[in-house]
Structure 1
Amino acid sequence: MHDIDIYDLPDLLDRTQRLIGLDPGTKTIGMAVSDRNFTVASPIGTIKRTKFKRDAEELKAICLDRNIGGIIMGLPVNMDGTEGPRCQSVRTLADNLQTIAGIELPIAFWDERMSTSAVERFLIGEADMTRKRRSEVVDKAAAAYILQGALDAIQRHLKI
């Protein structure tokens, strides 16, 4: 059950559940969670990618521990709006999380164009972070940026 319309996610969760935002990269998966009202995204960490089974077990444990009811995955769409190999990789990860790892949560995708570069610019300009420190936080911050964009869209949709 993935490629759910993002606006349908709130209706698929109960009032106690939250959303997790994922920024899947080749080396890490950045993570952020929403509050129960779907208004604020908070970065929570990264999973250092190793073997799929171990990564999926770690994600599954986090989802259970934090009462997650749905997943929003950043989709790295090309600047011209087309989907390339990186998008296919994210879609395959979503398929595998559900079919192989048994994570039975609805998954929606959110266009993550420019999320990492926007976060990098902020960390350099506003937060004045060193390169080493930025590398430690950029993935989870990008996940929060992705999730916050999706939450803002959901909130705008709910007010219509």
Structure 2
Amino acid sequence: MIETAVVDLPEKLARGQRLLGIDPGSKTLGLAISDSALKIASPLDTIRRAKFAQDAAHLAEICSERRVGGLVIGLPVNMDGSEGPRCQSVRQFARNLSEKAGFHMAIAFWDERLSTAAVQRFLIDEADMTRKRRSEVVDKMAAAYILQGALDAIASHAANSDRPAQNDGIS
């Protein structure tokens, strides 16, 4: 597996490639896609999980169609920052994509704490969606929330590394 830091993802991509955000749940995979400039995450799809081979084939098809060069996978870290069994499961899923399904692309993990809760709050408070409609979109919206967090970190890192050294007035 080619695990990399989120801020190093752009250098792993060929020109025009995009990132796919994945919010892995036990029953579904929420998916989001970035634009080729790596600025904006958009909700894409929700895959009802089946056997791993089927899920991987569906993801490979999306990656090919959408020119995906890297993955940002939500990591369900505990509130105290520790990693439990769910994190181990997500890391194994990523390893399986790489080792069993032949995904030879950079994979970064993004702390997804509270992403689903934040999206649920938005869908209730701002979008005024019914419970049924929320259940249809929450996974791909959570994936977009995760991917947007990673894209914002990439942009912030790029802005800070492009800044010239500041003169602190000491000669």
Bin for the TM-score computed over the shorter chain: over 0.9
TM-score (norm 2): 0.92
Q: Match of 1:46?
A: 46
Q: Note if contact 1:2-1:95 (Cα within 8 Å) is conserved in structure 2.
A: no
Structure 1 vs Structure 2: percent identity of aligned residues? Answer: 63
Residues 1-160 of structure 1: matches in 2 within 5 Å? 1-160=1-160
Q: Note if contact 2:75-2:111 (Cα within 8 Å) is conserved in structure 1.
A: yes
Q: Note if contact 2:16-2:37 (Cα within 8 Å) is conserved in structure 1.
A: no
Cα distance, 1:49 vs structure 2: 0.2
For residues 46 and 102 of structure 2, what CA distance do their matches in structure 1 show? 20
> What do you get for the CA RMSD once the two structures are aligned?
0.6
Q: Which runs of 5+ in 1 are unaligned?
A: none
Cα distance, 1:3 vs structure 2: 2.7
Structure 1 segments, 4+ long, off by >6 Å, are none
Summarize deviations over 1:29-77 as a string: whole Å, max 9, x none: 0000001111100001011101110010000000000000000000000
* SS of the residue 1:159 aligns to: helix
Aligned positions, number: 160
* SS of the residue 2:83 aligns to: coil
TM-score (norm 1): 0.98
- Larger Cα-atom Rg: 2
